[in-house]
Amino acid sequence: MSRADTATDIASASLREQAAALAATKISSVELVQEQLRRIDTQAQLGAFLHVAAEPALAQARAADAARAGGDNRALLGLPIAHKDVFVTRGMPSTAGSKMLAGYLSPFDATVVQRLGACGMVTLGKTNMDEFAMGSSNENSAYGAVRNPWDHAAIPGGSSGGSAAAVAARLVAAATGTDTGGSIRQPAAMCGVTGIKPTYGLCSRYGMIAFASSLDQAGPIAQTAWDCAALLQQMAGFDSADATSVQREIPRYAEALDAPLPGADAARPLAGLRLGLPREWFADGLAGEVEQAVRAALAELERLGATLLDIGLPRTELAIPAYYIVAPAEASSNLARFDGVRYGHRAENYRDLAEMYAASRAEGFGPEVKRRILMGAYVLSHGYYDAYYLQAQKIRRLIADDFLAAFQQCDLIAGPVSPTVAWNLGEKADPLANYLADIYTLPASLAGLPGMSIPVGFGQGAHASRPVGLQLIGPHFGEQRLLHAAHQFQRATDWHARAPQP
């Protein structure tokens, strides 16, 4: 096999396999990066990337190859990665998918970007996203929608749709994302890849362009649970620059993934694991094709030794109204800084300061961002704060209590990620229809819990090419157990290894 053929094969491989190929000198980082850049160029119609940093990436790859030749054996050295455009990056544009930040160049890297760069990863560029991470379809980007690699007529999910689409299309083996109400898990499910939202506070938010500060959390998207574990190991950890960062020891997530649970064996590596199935998640509103794929995955987990238990999360239906009060309220506050004065878009025509503010924000923000700013300003306004925002925070506490009660009965919670497979671009013009699609992901976000999505099958009939994901949710700082269960499932199945045709 020629070096070019080797590069083609390895560029489609998982992060773990790419690392092994680099360590065995089957391929160089430069060759791998060149192949990934070629793919990004030939599949530009997906709209997955907003900026491609070809020359800087090749320079980083050359430096990685030189370091490896000198004896540096760091596991992620020389491996390509892409970053969601919500993370600021020095030397390349950071727009958050908005015209408000068109052309903005940050003087520093976000902590997540800096940490992955410090372990030798090569940044290919920035991925497309819903504007300021507000959306579930990636149709709200000011720079055009992203298409699902499995079916170009379909959405990829959002807001991290560019990252999920890039990984699914094998443009890159891994990418960063952020999850405010499901924005890693939902696009991972709809694109047939693996993604994890860590416990709130585990990964630094410093340098992440804020949407809702009490909800936003960074996480990885990749082909496998092992890949996500290796990335999370580098991304997680205390950061004094982030006031919400949690100071605790970070486990070595990837090292224990292949070992059975205590008391289990190789044939039943999940023996002793209790999986709770919320009855509210398997009721009316869940598409039959999604339920069938999820049930088949649960049967496989049961075969691997897990015990399935019926549990209740009775306030699930309150997650949508609570989230769409809390998140817009925080967004209206966070986005107040984009006023055309300090940075961001400034209108050309205005008569006074007030008109400049209004014109700049009207021109710079898209419809969904404006809608949420208005909603947020309303619920925080005098006379409505107690009636809406305060009540939503009380409901948020009750939703968290439901999870605490559930984890007295089970170790992890399992169910669907989304009520349906990916829908067609332009199909859900009504914003409320988009909001309802987050019903299964919002509760864990409101409670600050870790959750992940793993691919478990496809839809049926006209949707036979559209992936379905299984959601796993753990207690606070339960990432290790989540990743272990997902990894054992992926050792026994091959859904994660399937890729769409270019």
Residue 120: what residue type?
A: G
Own/partner long-range contacts of 105-111 (Cβ < 8 Å, ≥24 apart): 106/207, 108/207, 109/207, 110/83, 110/204, 110/206, 110/207, 110/208, 111/204, 111/206, 111/207, 111/239, 111/241, 111/242
Residue 105: count of CB within 10 angstroms of its CB: 12
The one catalytic residue in 183, 245, 418, 465 is 183
The one catalytic residue in 28, 137, 159, 445 is 159
CB of 222 closer than 8 Å to CB of 496: no
Q: Is 14 a catalytic residue?
A: no
CB of 416 closer than 8 Å to CB of 182: no
pLDDT at 302: 98
CB of 80 closer than 8 Å to CB of 36: yes
Q: Is 183 a catalytic residue?
A: yes
Angle 479-492/288-303 helices, nearest 10 degrees? 90
pLDDT at 440: 98
Which residue, chain included where needed, has tokens 């009540």? 391
pLDDT at 99: 97
Distance CA 456, CA 439 (A): 19
pLDDT at 344: 86
Element housing 122 (H / E):
strand 122-127
CB of 471 closer than 8 Å to CB of 301: no
Helices (H), 304-389: 319-334, 353-364, 367-380
Distance CA 138, CA 128 (A): 8
The one catalytic residue in 28, 29, 84, 141 is 84
β-strands 217-222, 194-197 pairing: antiparallel
Domain covering 3-239 in this structure, CATH number:
3.90.1300.10
pLDDT at 3: 64
Which is nearest to 393 in space by CA: 378, 408, 377, 379? 379
Q: Is 163 a catalytic residue?
A: no
pLDDT at 8: 84
Q: Spell out the domain ranges in the chain.
A: 3-239
CB of 57 closer than 8 Å to CB of 35: no
Distance CA 23, CA 20 (A): 5
Element housing 485 (H / E):
helix 479-492
pLDDT at 423: 97
Instruction: Specify the 3-state DSSP secondary structure of 251.
Output: coil
- Phi and psi angles of residue 218, each rounded to the nearest 5 degrees, phi first: -80, 150
Residue 300: what residue type?
A: E
pLDDT at 343: 79
Helices (H), 106-150: 111-118
Distance of CA 282 to the CA centre of its chain: 24
Q: Half-sphere exposure (CA, 13 Å, Cβ side) for 9? A: 11
Instruction: Tell me how far CA of residue 402 lies from CA of 220, 255, 314, 317, 475, in angstroms.
Output: 27, 32, 7, 12, 12
Residue 309: what residue type?
A: L
Which is nearest to 156 in space by CA: 431, 466, 442? 466
pLDDT at 434: 87
**pLDDT tens over the chain, length 502 residues:** 566 677 789 999 999 999 999 999 999 999 999 999 999 999 999 999 999 999 999 999 999 999 999 999 999 999 999 999 999 999 999 999 999 999 999 999 999 999 999 999 999 999 999 999 999 999 999 999 999 999 999 999 999 999 999 999 999 999 999 999 999 999 999 999 999 999 999 999 999 999 999 999 999 999 999 999 999 999 999 999 999 999 999 999 999 898 888 888 989 999 999 999 999 999 999 999 999 999 999 999 999 999 999 999 999 999 999 999 999 999 999 999 999 998 789 999 999 999 999 999 999 999 999 999 999 999 999 889 999 999 999 999 999 999 999 999 999 999 999 999 999 999 998 888 889 999 999 999 999 999 999 999 999 999 999 999 999 999 999 999 999 999 999 999 999 999 999 8
As to burial, measured by CB atoms within 10 angstroms (0-12 exposed, 13-18 middle, 19+ buried), residue 55 is exposed
